[in-house]
Amino acid sequence: MTDSVTSAATAADDISVVENRAANVAEMFLARVRETPDSDAYRFPVGDNWESRTWRQTGDRVELWAAGLVALGVESEQRVAIASGTRYEWIVADLAIMCAGAATTTVYPSTMADDVAYILADSQSQIVFAEDDTQVAKLRERRDEISDVHTVVTFDGTPDEGDDAWVIGIEDLERLGAELIADQPDVVDRREAAIDAESLATLIYTSGTTGRPKGVRLRHSSWTYEGAAVGAQGILNIDDVQFLWLPMSHSFGKVLLTTQLQVGFVTAVDGRVDKIVDNLAVVRPTFMGAAPRIFEKAYGRIVTMAHGEGAAKAKIFDWACGVGAEVSKRKLAGEPVPRGLALKHQVADKLVFSKIRARFGGRVRFFISGSAALSREVAEWFHAAGVIILEGYGLTETSAGSFVNRPSHFKFGTVGPPFPGTEVRIAEDGEVLVRGPGIMDGYHHMEEETKATLVGDGWLATGDIGELDDDGFLRITDRKKDLFKTSGGKYVAPSNIEALFKALCPLASQMIVHGSERNFCSALITLDPDAVADWAKYHDMAGASYSDVVTSDAMQTEIQTYVDKLNDRLNRWETVKKFIVLEHDLTIESGELTPSLKLKRRVVEDNYRDRLDSLYS
């Protein structure tokens, strides 16, 4: 990375709104409770039904939990961890921690016990909110390594018995809080008033692709900026309904919560990924944030099912998609839609597109895609169906959001212009540099890594390669560390190729392009289990195992067809000459995907080194 730059952009619109914001997140929350006390704040499943909580009800519970933490001895900026999936109690715990003046340490529920111990020890967390007995067991297993943790509060787990319990229940915390409030009615208000804008609010440990997790230190002012910056852009309003399933230990999920405090819309919360489609039909949200894999999966499932229901239905589906694409192209170009085309589109919408939108609840104004690159082709397909996906960009180190497209002003293939108050530069080597109020303080206990990332005068080196257009829209082309050079001296950007393949092949789950210092590119390919099951039904393989289907000659031929289509759109040195379809998909549990569904490229390549080497022998 070099200090010289090739281009720069700043978003200054509505900067006064961004600057005139709450001093801390606790103040944001308490102000929201005062402003709209009887409006629904959260909805969540209880058994087969959904329950609601108003802002007043949520505020009362947050006050009890915050006072309970104070009663347990939590001091200003001390860390309190949350090891739990996405649920209403996660949100209450996070707000209570900040209202008590402490700071939240986030722990993914899928994190292995040794990494949990590392995170808790490194953060010096004093108390842990643990979702259930599974999370509690990890803590008990490594108790000797987490000596700073003096209390564990469990949502659904089993509390210890006796007066000197290490694990207590939520009821115990609330009892402690009620007793303290009875003695000191203003205890939480006093804690909130003492929080400085630059105080530590959150310590998020990046899941990372190699090595130990890094703790990213984010201030209260970072989160209040994020909420104000999104609110200032006018893309959300108090009447919106959010469906939130994202892992709350990830900055993308956290920033959506802060935005909710700023704007005041209701959020339906359920972190069960396998329930997303079912929940969309019940919640009927107006917007939702998600990783690209969710949209790729939906696209692949819809296309596979449509093509598997017979030639006639497939023909209608493809005709409708063609009509929708033409209408979308004209609208994006600002051109009128001819009457004949408009009539065709009405028919296509009735036969195909309305049914696609119904799968998402029928009320979605837009989706927000983040945490990884979204295929332009997938975004364009959704737009043709009448669904807008607004791609954004940011890092944990920037408190999540730094750029986002807007419903009235977007460009596919870009992550939009910068947030109000955020600046961006492109260094001579193509790296994206960002500066603004959302930038982290640094990495916890990692001075050298901090110096390497915060490169002077407030600029953060993102590690991503990108370019700015004349309108200030940013396009990310690849991760700097993922670029590789073939033995012929040609540079290859693998993520672009991988995204294109997933757009072309509705069966695809992952593609990992390989070829550093090799004489040609190869790839590992995994297929989506749901799409494979649908494909098998229409290819005389219904009931066959996933492994048998994906390794069959018929599937190999099918995938080769899509690889050929991919190669037709690539430079000669980028083309995939050989590939392997793996017998299983990549998962978070296998350690090959992060909890936010990002590919751990080095891990996957190491795991399949022998098979990759065999392609070049």
User: Residues 379, 498: one domain?
Assistant: no
Q: Which residues span the domain enclosing 325?
A: 292-420+466-472
456 domain-assigned: no
508 domain-assigned: yes
pLDDT in tens, 326-354: 999 999 888 999 999 999 999 999 999 99
167 domain-assigned: yes
pLDDT at 293: 85
Phi and psi based region of residue 29 (left: phi greater than 0; alpha: psi -120 to 50; beta: remaining) = alpha
10 domain-assigned: no
> CA angle 184-185-191, nearest 5°?
80
Let me know if 212 is exposed, middle or buried by CB neighbors in 10 A (0-12, 13-18, 19+).
middle
Structural domain count of the chain: 3
pLDDT in tens, 72-99: 999 999 999 999 999 999 999 999 999 9
pLDDT in tens, 153-170: 999 999 999 888 999 999
Average pLDDT over residues 591-607: 84
Share of the chain above pLDDT 90, in %: 76
Whether the Cβ atoms of residue 488 and residue 503 lie closer than 8 Å to each other: no
pLDDT at 460: 96
User: Residues 180, 38: one domain?
Assistant: yes
507 domain-assigned: yes
Q: What is the CATH number of the domain that holds 528?
A: 3.30.300.30
The mean pLDDT of the chain is 92
Of 286, 319, 348, the one marking the end of a domain is 286
Residues belonging to the chain: 617
pLDDT at residue 8 above 70?
no
User: Residues 299, 247: one domain?
Assistant: no
User: Residues 305, 282: one domain?
Assistant: no
User: Residues 164, 247: one domain?
Assistant: yes
447 domain-assigned: no
User: Residues 489, 579: one domain?
Assistant: yes
Which stretch, 204-218, 511-525, 579-593, has highest mean pLDDT? 511-525
Of 286, 319, 352, the one marking the end of a domain is 286
532 domain-assigned: yes
Of 472, 494, 513, the one marking the end of a domain is 472
Average pLDDT over residues 275-289: 94
pLDDT at 7: 57
pLDDT at residue 197 above 80?
yes
Report the distance separating Cα 370 and Cα 115, nearest Å. Answer: 25
pLDDT in tens, 437-488: 999 999 999 999 999 999 988 999 999 999 999 999 999 988 888 888 898 8
Distances in whole angstroms, Cα of residue 16 to Cα of each of 220, 352, 409: 18, 45, 21
Where b means 16+ CB within 10 Å and e means fewer, 258-275 reads bbbbbbbbbbbbbbebee
Residue linked to tokens 């080769």? 560
User: Residues 348, 394: one domain?
Assistant: yes
pLDDT at 13: 53
User: Residues 529, 493: one domain?
Assistant: yes
64 domain-assigned: yes
pLDDT at residue 41 above 50?
yes
User: Residues 67, 161: one domain?
Assistant: yes
User: Residues 330, 364: one domain?
Assistant: yes
Q: What is the CATH number of the domain that holds 161?
A: 3.40.50.980
E-assigned strand segments in 370-430: 389-393, 403-404, 423-427
Beta pairing partners, 403? 393, 418
Dihedral (CA of 114, 120, 121, 123) sign: positive
pLDDT in tens, 301-318: 898 888 888 889 999 999
Best CA proximity match to 232, nearest among 424, 79, 59, 20: 20
Tokens encoding 282 = 């019940």
Average pLDDT over residues 510-528: 94
Give residue 305's identity as a one-letter amino acid code: M
Specify the pTM.
0.86
pLDDT at residue 68 above 90?
yes
pLDDT in tens, 561-581: 999 999 999 999 999 999 999
Tokens encoding 614 = 């065999």
pLDDT at 1: 44
* Host H or E run for residue 501: helix 494-504
User: Residues 126, 264: one domain?
Assistant: yes
Dihedral (CA of 138, 142, 146, 149) sign: positive
Report the distance separating Cα 615 and Cα 617, nearest Å. Answer: 6
User: Residues 247, 329: one domain?
Assistant: no
pLDDT at residue 5 above 70?
no
